[in-house]
Homo-oligomer: A and B are copies of this chain.
Amino acid sequence: MSATPEAVTTSRSPAASAKGRWLPVGLAQAKITGGFWAPRQLRNGDSAIPSGQDQLETAGNLQNLRLAAGIGEGEAIGPVFADSDVFKWLEAAAWEYGRNPSEDLLKRQRELTAIVAAAQRDDGYLDSVVQLRYGDEGRYKQLVWSHEHYCAGHLIQAAVAQVRCTGDRELLDVAVKVADHLVATFGEGEGKTVDIDGHPVIEMALVELYRETGTAAYLDLAKWFVDARGHGIIKEHGHEPTYFSDRVPIREATTVEGHAVRAVYLAAGATDVALETGDAKLLEALKGQFADMWSTKTYITGGLGARWEGEAFGDEYELPPDRAYAETCAAIGGIQWAWRMLLATGEAFYADAIERMLYNGFLAGVSLKGTEYFYVNPLQLRGAAHADNNRSPAHGRRGWFDCACCPPNIMRTLASLDGYLASSSDGAVQIHQYAAGTLTVGDATLTVETAYPWDGAVRITVDGSVAVELRIPAWADGATVNGSAVAAGTYARVEADVIDLQLPMATRVVAADPRIDAVRGCVALERGPLVYAVEQVDQQANVDDLHLLPEAAVAASHDGGLLDGVTVLQTRGRIGTGHQGGWPFTSDAADSVGDEVDVVAVPYYAWANREIGAMRVWLPRG
């Protein structure tokens, strides 16, 4: 083990790098106290995390670990990656404790940590399902599907969060043993195995463990895992490599492809490696990949992944709204990647991307109550759709899934959200996301007051001496700071005791690049960072038949009683009656003009909270 003596952790936050252009501001320094996000975090801490523990008990994930620890007898239950859900829950609990400490939550973490520690083998190996199903002989035999590194990665991330937020080192000890075992087992050199996990995440995790412990071997192994991909390892095991992000080396890739969560987790890990090793070439490649993803393979909601088959990115401009997969986990991975790119580059583009994913593709994944989840986040549901799959959006959000990766992933993201709000650099603080709360950086304390995203006014009161750099979203043409115009898509730097940012909140009617075939002739409505959707429950006409009138004005009004308070958009449309049965492809299949009707749109994230029914983000215009 090539240990180095010094840890480089900078804050109680995810991706606590000291090497980026900007440094993260940890939980407790950045603190959401009200507004849009505070009640969501409250429900996450009070309802989702406790009920998540119950779900892990019911589904057998915790039982697997107990069995692996020798407590009781039985067989492993559930998918091979069952442990990872426990680890994501532990990570969520740790961040939650970091922003809002409670004895109960500490006790829960310690109980689960003890089970995890007991399940670990003496040599550091830990994967309860493999241990129970295949024994020591079965280790790493099918790494393409076994998720052993994936589970290890989530364990390490949980351990890092736990030590940063609680100071407890128990899980970190387990994680270090796991990581040392991996370092001893994988890579080049005598007695080591050249192989990679089919599902990335270990890369991000090892870099975080390096930041926490200062052990360079972890960073080295992360770098090795990143560079080992794309050289035929998975093909040699008899699998088509695209799905596993293993078709081309990441340094040569020009886009993202294959399984969306795998792809963005890998990219986020590679960004971590680039950050810590100062690898400008790797970072440049990642910039190109992100840009290509953002311009050709991302939904307007920030959703990632156009295909159910393989939960995968499609070809460029293949973005069907009805069959969008847009897995909640992919939005989370997208946020993680964008956050690392933001720290590395200081480009407002990435904070814009986080905002879009956060308020739309991510947030739609959880109900207003906080305890029901979407796995798949389409931009259209037809009236006649029926659920034919555990993950079908036609079910509405569900309490848990057979494959339960998304729920605890949402929990850890909401619990650590404060960590994504701001960063600091020499003498300045950058505010990336606008949320009511406080920021403490050095001697300065900033108080942020805002009803964002409903209102574009943000007041920042600065107590202390610090320059403030405010992200002006690319959509915010006409924004002002203390009355002066500022450029959209950049950071506006200002030094003042009181800062008044005004972001224009006019509704935007947007169309798609014509190469996006699936929404040709349609428009979507946006206001501020929010994408809107038309839900059946609000309409006079069938959503399936609804068209927007091209010239109709769009009125916005806030309704504090609707969907926990949302700004509603209202406009006019007409019913396109179309054909009535029979062969649908004819020379005169033009749409017939029907009656005019009112059209009501609500924020996309809030859909499916009243009833499940037809929904569209993109509506035909004309």
Q: Are A581 and B521 within 8 A (Cβ)? A: no
Q: Are A584 and B296 within 8 A (Cβ)? A: yes
Give 1 or 0 for each of A541-563: 1 = CB within 8 Å of chain B CB.
00011000000000000000000
Q: Assuming A318-B382, A320-B518, A514-B620, is B243 touching A388 (CB within 8 A)?
A: yes
A13 located at the interface, meaning its Cβ lies under 8 Å from any Cβ of chain B in the complex: no
Q: Are A514 and B591 within 8 A (Cβ)? A: yes
Bound: A584/B517 CA distance, A? 12
A576 located at the interface, meaning its Cβ lies under 8 Å from any Cβ of chain B in the complex: yes
A576 / chain B contacts, CB cutoff of 8 Å: 514
A513 located at the interface, meaning its Cβ lies under 8 Å from any Cβ of chain B in the complex: yes
A307 interface neighbour in B323, B519, B524, B583, Cβ under 8 Å: B323
Give 1 or 0 for each of A561-596: 1 = CB within 8 Å of chain B CB.
000000000000000101101111111111100000
Bound: A388/B508 CA distance, A? 37
Smallest CB separation, A523 vs chain B (Å): 9
A510 located at the interface, meaning its Cβ lies under 8 Å from any Cβ of chain B in the complex: yes
A320 / chain B contacts, CB cutoff of 8 Å: 320, 323, 518
Q: Assuming A323-B307, A520-B620, is B512 touching A584 (CB within 8 A)?
A: yes
A294 located at the interface, meaning its Cβ lies under 8 Å from any Cβ of chain B in the complex: yes
Residue of B whose beta carbon sits closest to that of A591: B514
Task: Kindly identify, within residues 383 to 416 of chain A, every residue whose CB is under 8 Å from any CB belonging to chain B.
Answer: 384-386, 388-390
Bound: A395/B421 CA distance, A? 46
A258 / chain B contacts, CB cutoff of 8 Å: 388
Smallest CB separation, A575 vs chain B (Å): 11
A382 / chain B contacts, CB cutoff of 8 Å: 315-318
Q: Are A583 and B511 within 8 A (Cβ)? A: no
A474 located at the interface, meaning its Cβ lies under 8 Å from any Cβ of chain B in the complex: yes
Smallest CB separation, A521 vs chain B (Å): 4
A380 located at the interface, meaning its Cβ lies under 8 Å from any Cβ of chain B in the complex: yes
Q: Are A585 and B512 within 8 A (Cβ)? A: yes
**How many residues of chain A have a CB within 8 Å of chain B?**
67
Bound: A509/B588 CA distance, A? 9
A516 located at the interface, meaning its Cβ lies under 8 Å from any Cβ of chain B in the complex: yes
A300 located at the interface, meaning its Cβ lies under 8 Å from any Cβ of chain B in the complex: yes
Q: Assuming A294-B583, A583-B474, A585-B300, is B318 touching A578 (CB within 8 A)?
A: no
A590 interface neighbour in B291, B511, B587, Cβ under 8 Å: B511
Bound: A455/B464 CA distance, A? 86
The interface residues of chain A, by DSSP majority, are classed as loop
A372 / chain B contacts, CB cutoff of 8 Å: none
A321 / chain B contacts, CB cutoff of 8 Å: 517
Q: Are A589 and B322 within 8 A (Cβ)? A: no
A240 located at the interface, meaning its Cβ lies under 8 Å from any Cβ of chain B in the complex: yes
A295 located at the interface, meaning its Cβ lies under 8 Å from any Cβ of chain B in the complex: yes
A316 / chain B contacts, CB cutoff of 8 Å: 382, 384
A587 interface neighbour in B300, B510, B584, Cβ under 8 Å: B510
A518 / chain B contacts, CB cutoff of 8 Å: 320, 517-518
Residue of B whose beta carbon sits closest to that of A308: B309
A440 located at the interface, meaning its Cβ lies under 8 Å from any Cβ of chain B in the complex: no
A461 located at the interface, meaning its Cβ lies under 8 Å from any Cβ of chain B in the complex: no
A295 interface neighbour in B295, B390, B582, B591, Cβ under 8 Å: B582
A515 located at the interface, meaning its Cβ lies under 8 Å from any Cβ of chain B in the complex: yes
Smallest CB separation, A155 vs chain B (Å): 30
Q: Are B295 and A584 within 8 A (Cβ)? A: yes
Q: Are B579 and A513 within 8 A (Cβ)? A: yes
Bound: A514/B622 CA distance, A? 11
Bound: A276/B201 CA distance, A? 59
Bound: A300/B291 CA distance, A? 36
Residue of B whose beta carbon sits closest to that of A578: B514
A584 / chain B contacts, CB cutoff of 8 Å: 295-296, 317, 512-513, 515-516
A385 / chain B contacts, CB cutoff of 8 Å: 315
A524 interface neighbour in B516, B517, B579, B585, Cβ under 8 Å: B585
A589 / chain B contacts, CB cutoff of 8 Å: 510-514
Q: List 26 A-B contacts (CB under 8 A).
A: A240-B388, A291-B581, A295-B583, A295-B584, A300-B585, A308-B308, A308-B309, A309-B309, A310-B388, A314-B323, A317-B584, A509-B587, A511-B585, A511-B587, A511-B589, A511-B590, A512-B584, A512-B589, A513-B579, A513-B584, A514-B576, A514-B590, A514-B591, A515-B578, A515-B584, A520-B522
Q: Which 4 A-B pairs have the closest CB atoms?
A: A513-B584, A308-B309, A242-B388, A514-B591
